[in-house]
């Protein structure tokens, strides 16, 4: 709890189905995806939209037409037009950032009711033009005469014409996320067999959580109006028929000769959105809501991207625990974003390592062992998918729901992100 004595509750949260890029949501506008889940949140929580004082939304591959999609969301979802809103980007941890920004607003007493979440539409990423062509087009649009417009295009070559698709590549290292995961697997000695076993578990727990209704409770259908109209109700990447044998047959993608990271033990490119309703404890009580969980602490940390790009959570987790005056052994449930199985297993390894604790964290004992049976009980990003801007909110929603269901006292979310950043959030009940 903050010094202000104001505790922030997770009152409700929903996500859209997470679907592979290029499938069910391929022709949907990114704003419509965010609007759909936010309207569902308001309706299912039976909240008067007039109560919402601020909206914060994560988004990574920013659509050209929406420079601040959070504010567009306010206007599209029928929230009060006087509700301020901002869009945040912290790569895969963007929605975690949106949620902790909301926590800051509420703890300071600047707001009582905030919607935070995120959206990603990898089916429809902004495609950039080459800088010379872009400059020529801007110059042509400003030219006063036809001659001036034509002049703007002088000097352009054929090589300047092809569009440039965005890449999941670190600017400072030139390595893709997958190549970085591959490097981590090698540096930490994470075997192919262990990665595949973790991926299999991700699919099995996700399938089980759909079968027993736990995921149906937190996923709001999206109505797609094109092509005759249909409701998209389920995640579409979970593979019920996968097995260690099938996973073992897949070829490595990011290092074809010596690699261990495959399509099977990586998270897929995904479309999806998630929205969370946060309130101060007092406001929730006044409006008759019982929060599923409260935010106890959070932390961000960053590492040199050229070393182990996705190891940030191994630094953020102990910091968030320290801020909560807790040890890892106190945590009942964990929701860990699975960018790659190699990244999850590397994080476990670092948390268990005395050398890492001494050399990197300045502590004499390891952070601790995470009981695998407490992790990602409704599946992880490998099976469910990973819409960059939304995953942090998906993790918080799932953790809060599972904590409520099990009457668990303490939960931990962790998310790794491009740039070497790690995020961790501690929830309590
Ligand atoms: C890894 C990646 C390149 C794979 O993309 P892809 O080739 O489109 O993946 P697919 O789902 O088509 O899978 C490739 C093959 O493996 C098979 N496969 C994938 N997962 C499988 C599983 N669990 N069990 C059995 N087969 C599986 C597919 O059926 C497909 O087979 P096919 O070629 O015979 O159709 C892509 O998902 C990716 O870039 N992921 C990383 C995203 C990322 O970096 N995120 C940021 C994280 S920080």
pLDDT tens-digit series, residues 165-197: 777 889 999 999 999 999 999 999 999 999 999
Q: Is the per-residue pLDDT at 347 higher than 70?
A: yes
Rounded to an integer, the average pLDDT of 144-164 is 91
Residues having CB closer than 6 A to ligand 1 are 92, 168, 177-178, 199, 239, 242, 246-247, 250, 253, 263-264, 266-269, 339, 386
382 C-alpha to ligand 1 centroid (Å): 10
181 C-alpha to ligand 1 centroid (Å): 15
Closest residue to atom 4 of ligand 1, CA basis: 263
C-alpha distances (whole Å) from 252 to each of 198, 205, 328, 375, 390 are 16, 24, 33, 26, 27
Rounded to an integer, the average pLDDT of 385-406 is 98
Instruction: Please state whether 99 falls in left (phi above 0), alpha (psi between -120 and 50) or beta.
Output: alpha
| pLDDT-based confidence at residue 259 (cuts at 50, 70, 90) | very high
237 C-alpha to ligand 1 centroid (Å): 10
Position 9 scores a pLDDT of: 98
**Strand, helix or coil at 357?**
helix
Locate the DSSP E strands across 200-261. 222-224, 230-232
Closest residue to atom 18 of ligand 1, CA basis: 264
d(CA 106, CA 87): 17
Asked if 390 contacts 255 with a C-beta cutoff of 8 angstroms, the reply is no
Mean pLDDT of the chain: 96
Closest residue to atom 10 of ligand 1, CA basis: 263
Active-site amino acid positions: 92, 386, 416
Closest residue to atom 43 of ligand 1, CA basis: 177
| pLDDT-based confidence at residue 164 (cuts at 50, 70, 90) | confident
327 C-alpha to ligand 1 centroid (Å): 36
Which two structure tokens, joined as six digits, stand for 60?
Answer: 């990574």
Closest atom of ligand 1 relative to the 200 alpha carbon? 23
The residue written with tokens 């990447």 in the block is: 237
Question: Across the strands, what pairs with 271?
Answer: 19, 121
Closest atom of ligand 1 relative to the 340 alpha carbon? 47
| pLDDT-based confidence at residue 162 (cuts at 50, 70, 90) | confident
264 C-alpha to ligand 1 centroid (Å): 6
Closest atom of ligand 1 relative to the 239 alpha carbon? 23
pLDDT more than 90, % of the chain: 92
d(CA 119, CA 383): 18
Please, where are the H alpha helices in 153-224? 177-188, 192-211
Which two structure tokens, joined as six digits, stand for 57?
Answer: 């939304």
Tell me which of 263, 264, 270 to substitute to probe ligand 1's pocket, judged by most ligand atoms within 8 Å of the beta carbon.
263
106 C-alpha to ligand 1 centroid (Å): 40
Count of all residues that appear for the chain in the document: 429
Position 111 scores a pLDDT of: 98
Position 270 scores a pLDDT of: 98
Rounded to an integer, the average pLDDT of 79-107 is 98
Q: Is the per-residue pLDDT at 28 higher than 70?
A: yes
Residues 6 or more apart in contact with residue 52 via CB below 8 angstroms: 42, 79, 80, 83, 113, 114, 115
| pLDDT-based confidence at residue 1 (cuts at 50, 70, 90) | low
Q: Is the per-residue pLDDT at 48 higher than 80?
A: yes
Closest atom of ligand 1 relative to the 250 alpha carbon? 16
Rounded to an integer, the average pLDDT of 209-224 is 98
């Amino acid at each position: 709890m903050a010094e202000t004595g104001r505790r922030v509750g997770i009152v409700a949260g929903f996500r859209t189905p997470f679907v592979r890029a290029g499938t069910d949501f391929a022709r949907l506008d990114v704003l419509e995806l965010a609007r759909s889940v936010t309207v569902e949140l308001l309706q299912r929580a039976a909240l008067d939209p007039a109560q919402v004082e601020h909206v914060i939304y994560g988004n990574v591959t920013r659509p050209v037409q929406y420079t601040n999609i959070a504010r567009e969301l306010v206007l599209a979802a029928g929230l009060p037009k006087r509700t301020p809103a901002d869009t945040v980007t912290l790569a895969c941890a963007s929605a975690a950032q949106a949620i902790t920004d909301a926590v800051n607003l509420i703890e300071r007493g600047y707001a009582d009711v905030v919607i935070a979440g995120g959206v990603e539409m990898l089916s429809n990423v902004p495609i950039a033009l080459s800088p010379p062509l872009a400059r020529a087009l801007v110059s042509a649009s400003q030219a006063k005469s036809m001659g001036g417009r034509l002049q703007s295009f002088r000097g352009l070559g054929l090589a300047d014409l092809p569009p440039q698709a965005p890449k999941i590549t670190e600017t400072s290292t030139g390595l893709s996320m997958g190549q970085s995961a591959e490097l981590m697997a090698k540096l930490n000695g994470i075997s192919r067999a262990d990665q595949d076993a973790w991926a299999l578990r991700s699919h099995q727990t996700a399938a089980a959580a759909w079968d027993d209704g736990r995921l149906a409770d937190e996923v709001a259908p999206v109505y797609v109006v094109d092509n005759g109209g249909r409701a998209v109700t389920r995640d579409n990447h979970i593979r019920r028929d996968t097995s260690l044998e099938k996973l073992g047959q897949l070829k490595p993608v990011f290092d074809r000769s010596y690699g261990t990271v495959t399509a099977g033990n990586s998270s897929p490119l995904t479309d999806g959105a998630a929205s969370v309703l946060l309130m101060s404890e007092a406001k929730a009580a006044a409006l008759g809501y019982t929060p599923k969980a409260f935010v106890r602490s959070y932390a961000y940390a960053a590492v040199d991207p050229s070393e182990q790009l996705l190891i940030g959570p191994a630094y953020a987790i102990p910091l968030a625990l320290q801020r909560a005056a807790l040890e890892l052994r106190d945590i009942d449930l964990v929701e860990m974003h699975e960018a790659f199985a190699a990244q999850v297993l590397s994080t476990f390894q670092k948390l268990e390592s005395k050398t890492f604790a001494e050399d990197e964290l300045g502590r004499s004992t390891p952070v601790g062992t995470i009981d695998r049976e407490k992790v990602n009980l409704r599946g992880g990003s490998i099976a469910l998918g990973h819409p960059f801007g939304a995953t942090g909110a998906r993790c918080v929603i799932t953790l809060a729901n599972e904590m409520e269901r099990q009457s668990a006292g303490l939960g931990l979310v962790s998310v790794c992100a491009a740039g070497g950043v790690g995020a961790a959030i501690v929830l309590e009940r």
